[in-house]
Every structure is written in structure tokens, then in C-alpha cells.
Copies of this chain bind each other. A is one copy, B any other.
Amino acid sequence: MMDIDGWRAKIDEIDEELVRLINARAEAALAIGELKRTSELPVYEPQREKAVFEHVRRVNAGPLSEAQMVDIYERVIDVMRSLQKRSS
């Protein structure tokens, strides 16, 4: 059984992976922003954002509730949207 320090070491490992993945997601969002700009598509696409949230809810197996996961993802999407806007 792990003690608090053991769990914290595990959290630190997870955080490194999370930071890496969030940045990978940002790279993809920037690439899409660039493609939208060159093809004159709108940056804000509510249908796509809706699909992202539906996907997140569908794959969420807990322990976070749907509401808690969506709470985190709302912030992720806010930041990604501001990133696409800034680069346009």
C-alpha cells in the first residue's frame, strides 16, 4: 500500500504527462486554426465543440463525475479557443 509521498510521486508523473498532452492538443488546435484561416472557415464551430464534450462524457469512466470532467474540459476548451483566435 502506497503512502502519501508515493501517491504524490505518482501525481507528479501524471502531471508531466498531462502537461505534455495538453500541449499536444494545443499544437493540433493551432494547426486547425491555421487551416481554417487559409480556407476562410469560421474559428468558432459550436457543433464541433458540442461533439468534443459528448465524446469526453462518453469516455469518462470515473471516479470524476460527468459534471466534474466537463468542468475541467470547459477550461481546456476556453484556452484552446483563445489560442486559435490569437493566431488568426
Contacts and interface: CB of A to CB of B under 8 A. Distances in A.
> How many copies of the chain does the oligomer comprise?
2
A36 B7 CA distance: 12
Interface string A45-78: 0001000100110011111100011011011101
Given A3-B35, A14-B28, A74-B75, 17 more contacts: A4-B36, A7-B31, A11-B28, A11-B29, A11-B52, A15-B59, A16-B59, A18-B25, A19-B60, A20-B61, A23-B63, A26-B63, A26-B64, A64-B79, A68-B79, A72-B72, A72-B79
Interface of A: 2-4, 7-8, 10-12, 14-32, 35-36, 41, 48, 52, 55-56, 59-64, 68-69, 71-72, 74-76, 78-79, 82-83
